Chains A and B, each alone.
Chain A
Amino acid sequence: MSHLLEVKDLKVSYHSYAGEVQSVRGVNFTVDTGESVAIVGESGCGKSVTAKTIMGLIQTPPGEIKKGSQILFEGKNLLDMNEKEWQAYRGSDCAIVFQDALAALNPTLTIGRQITEKIMIHTDMNKEDAMKEAERLLTLVGIPNPAKRLKQYPHEFSGGMRQRAMIAIALACQPKLLIADEPTTALDVTIQADIIDLLKDLQKEFQMAVIMITHDLGIVADIATKIVVMYAGKVVETGSNYDVFYNPRHPYTQALLRAVPRLDVEEDQELESIEGTPPNMIAPPAGCAFCTRCKHCMKICQKMEPPTYEFEDGHTAQCWLYHEYAQK
């Protein structure tokens, strides 16, 4: 069966003042129709860069997508497309919701104008129909008084409402894939919960695929059916939500799950802290990037990149611990 989206050996670098920052260093994962995939990782692990590359939003230069990288959307390699094809793809096939809705929306245009503009570019609707469609979309994302709200400017919206408006814009033209890049990080928890619920409902209703980029394991547990854990520009573990949460294979995932306190469990033990700091992406280590912070580090980990092992169906981890010679 072919996948909706297949990312193959994606490598992206940024040329900065200090040198070449290797943000993404060979990322592989797939997304199927109707699936919600969460990409989890800490800041600087390359999760946002991956999302931006899928949307074709990497500025080159300073960015550089390395040769050999492939992003297949319904079998077509996105990285071979020209700007015109990208424009058709963005919006109608794939849409993105950013963390900072205030920065992503144009402050000088009304919300209605921003939605209808997009609808009119991608379809042959006239202005009136587009306005009706926009009103329908705002209702869909749970914005009260849509007719009035369409005439308002982004600054007249509260943070949660702005994010809903962003989602409405993303939903226009019914994309097959929705990328949500930390959509709730800037929001309060009660509003965050509303937005996550909304995304879940919309996904069910439209059978969209959703890629959720986040650092919050709670959100991952809430929304994802499949989890991609990233560390220092690489995928260290992928699997279904149950596999990753209840049977994590990579030491990083294991440590990460024990590093966050649980609200619902009474516990007195100390949190497990992951000592040290993530590696410098200008000169990433030769071996496993996590080895300086890993409790099970072996000599081999410092020298060579770990291979990928598959456990249950679709549950993979990149770690030397599963090599036949490794001491258990």
Chain B
Amino acid sequence: MAKLVSPLTQAAINAEEFAKVEREKSYVEASFERGLLHHLGKALKDNKLALLCLIILCIIIFSSVFAFLSPYDPDAMDVMLKMAPPSAEHWFGTDELGRDSFTRALYGGRVSLTVGFAAMVVSVIIGTTVGSISGYVGGTVDAVLMRIVDIFQSVPSLLLIIVFFSFVPNNMMTLVVMLALFSWSGVARIVRAQTLTLKERDFVIAAKTLGVSHPMIILKHIIPNMTTQIIVAASLSVASAILDESALSFLGYGVALPKSSWGSMLQNAQQYILYDPLLALIPGAFILLTVLCLNILGDMLQHALDPKLHK
């Protein structure tokens, strides 16, 4: 009979313990995969720079939204106090008409950020629609749509927008449409590439054999499975929209006066650059900080949401 070879203490058990027990089924399941938010939280914790960027971005966004709390009217002139240096009353000083620079920068942020985010939303919607249809349907449709994308990617967008603005009035609405018109093509390319791989996946084939319609497959299976790529593309597209908007405003094709954005403040400041460089530095710093933060966050998102890096 069996000979015990491991230490005896381990086997010194009394007889009652040996009553056979009903075996109960217990499923022990490990969840190695976590949700999106979990990965984001972890990535932010690991990447202190990204966390700092997120905080800065939040401060800029919140202060723009709550700009009305400022005691100054952005358009109220104080002729007695032109080009004042920073002081306790005017944190960043005043401009050539005696307006409070800090308040103006916050209100300018409203325009810049709104235009940036709105342009991103529109371009993501157009890009996702075109990209997913192009990738899913394939064939001639794909070829035609992708050539259109090529055309949009190869034209000098700023120049064309300037030309367009000689025919249409420039307000926030048209600005957003114009910016979106020239930035959706990048999103479309990313979405199309993802769709091409996703449509070969077994769960899409399974949906087809179940008789699920093609639009439903795109909406329920294809698009939800590339949210991470879309989020990353979107964060980078906000940054480029803000830059483009600033460039347009600087060239005088931004939103109409008296409304101002960071770009138009820059334009305004250029004639006084030698007397009061601070006027240019403030909007410049806001643009730089916002775009830099968005780019760093976009980069972080790309790493945090890449499932290949989670193992």
Contact A323 B18 (CB under 8 A): yes
Q: What is the chain A residue whose CB lies nearest that of B9?
A: A307
| A262 located at the interface, meaning its Cβ lies under 8 Å from any Cβ of chain B in the complex | no
Question: Within B9-54, which residues are at the interface with A (CB < 8 Å)?
Answer: 10-11, 13-15, 17-21, 23-32
Alpha-carbon separation in the docked complex, A323 to B3 (Å): 9
Alpha-carbon separation in the docked complex, A305 to B11 (Å): 9
Contact B13 A323 (CB under 8 A): yes
Cβ contacts under 8 Å, A279 to chain B? 28
Contact B20 A327 (CB under 8 A): yes
Cβ contacts under 8 Å, B15 to chain A? 325
Alpha-carbon separation in the docked complex, A302 to B1 (Å): 24
| B201 located at the interface, meaning its Cβ lies under 8 Å from any Cβ of chain A in the complex | no
Contact A276 B27 (CB under 8 A): yes
| B5 located at the interface, meaning its Cβ lies under 8 Å from any Cβ of chain A in the complex | yes
| A245 located at the interface, meaning its Cβ lies under 8 Å from any Cβ of chain B in the complex | no
| A190 located at the interface, meaning its Cβ lies under 8 Å from any Cβ of chain B in the complex | no
Contact with B5, one of A18, A292, A308 (Cβ below 8 angstroms): A308
Alpha-carbon separation in the docked complex, A279 to B311 (Å): 19
Using an 8 Å CB-CB cutoff, how does the interface string of A229-272 with B read, 1 for contact, 0 for none? 00000000000000000000100000000000000000000000
User: What's the A-B contact tally at a CB cutoff of 8 Å?
Assistant: 88
| B4 located at the interface, meaning its Cβ lies under 8 Å from any Cβ of chain A in the complex | yes
| B140 located at the interface, meaning its Cβ lies under 8 Å from any Cβ of chain A in the complex | no
15 further A-B contacts with Cβ under 8 Å, apart from A316-B5, A327-B20, are: A275-B25, A276-B25, A277-B27, A279-B28, A280-B29, A292-B26, A295-B23, A297-B21, A298-B19, A299-B20, A300-B13, A307-B7, A307-B11, A310-B2, A325-B14
Contact with A307, one of B4, B17, B28 (Cβ below 8 angstroms): B4
Which residues of A are in contact with B by a Cβ distance under 8 Å?
16-18, 249, 275-277, 279-283, 285, 292, 294-300, 302-305, 307-311, 316-318, 322-323, 325-327
Q: What is the chain B residue whose CB lies nearest that of A309?
A: B2
Shortest A133–chain B CB gap in Å is 39
Alpha-carbon separation in the docked complex, A311 to B4 (Å): 9
Contact A310 B5 (CB under 8 A): yes
Shortest B18–chain A CB gap in Å is 5
Contact A304 B29 (CB under 8 A): no
Alpha-carbon separation in the docked complex, A112 to B29 (Å): 47
Cβ contacts under 8 Å, B17 to chain A? 298-300, 303, 325
Shortest A182–chain B CB gap in Å is 19
Q: What is the chain A residue whose CB lies nearest that of B32?
A: A18
Cβ contacts under 8 Å, A297 to chain B? 20-21, 23
Contact with A325, one of B10, B18, B310, B311 (Cβ below 8 angstroms): B18
Contact A277 B2 (CB under 8 A): no
Question: Within B281-311, which residues are at the interface with A (CB < 8 Å)?
Answer: 310-311
Cβ contacts under 8 Å, B18 to chain A? 298-300, 323, 325-327
Contact with B30, one of A280, A316, A323 (Cβ below 8 angstroms): A280
Q: Can you name 14 A-B residue pairings with CB atoms under 8 Å?
A: A17-B311, A249-B2, A275-B25, A277-B29, A283-B28, A292-B26, A295-B23, A297-B20, A300-B18, A303-B17, A304-B13, A307-B6, A310-B3, A316-B5
Contact A304 B10 (CB under 8 A): yes
Contact with A277, one of B13, B14, B28 (Cβ below 8 angstroms): B28
Contact-residue size bin, chain B (C-beta under 8 Å from the other chain):
20 to 34
Q: What is the chain B residue whose CB lies nearest that of A276?
A: B25
Alpha-carbon separation in the docked complex, A282 to B29 (Å): 10
Looking at B21, B24, B29, the one whose CB has the most chain A CB atoms below 10 A away is B21
Alpha-carbon separation in the docked complex, A310 to B4 (Å): 6
Q: What is the chain A residue whose CB lies nearest that of B10?
A: A307
Contact A18 B7 (CB under 8 A): no
Using an 8 Å CB-CB cutoff, how does the interface string of B88-130 with A read, 1 for contact, 0 for none? 0000000000000000000000000000000000000000000
Closest 8 pairs (CB-CB, A-B): A309-B2, A322-B2, A307-B6, A308-B6, A280-B30, A307-B11, A325-B15, A310-B3
Q: What is the chain A residue whose CB lies nearest that of B20?
A: A298
Contact B3 A18 (CB under 8 A): no
Cβ contacts under 8 Å, A300 to chain B? 13, 17-18
Shortest A61–chain B CB gap in Å is 14
Shortest B29–chain A CB gap in Å is 7
Q: What is the chain A residue whose CB lies nearest that of B14?
A: A325
Q: What is the chain A residue whose CB lies nearest that of B18?
A: A325
Contact B30 A282 (CB under 8 A): yes
Shortest A172–chain B CB gap in Å is 33
Alpha-carbon separation in the docked complex, A20 to B31 (Å): 13
Q: What is the chain B residue whose CB lies nearest that of A316?
A: B5
Cβ contacts under 8 Å, A311 to chain B? 2-3
- With A322-B2, A325-B13, A325-B15 as given contacts, are A18 and B20 in contact (CB-CB < 8 Å)? no
Shortest B92–chain A CB gap in Å is 45
Cβ contacts under 8 Å, B10 to chain A? 304-305, 307
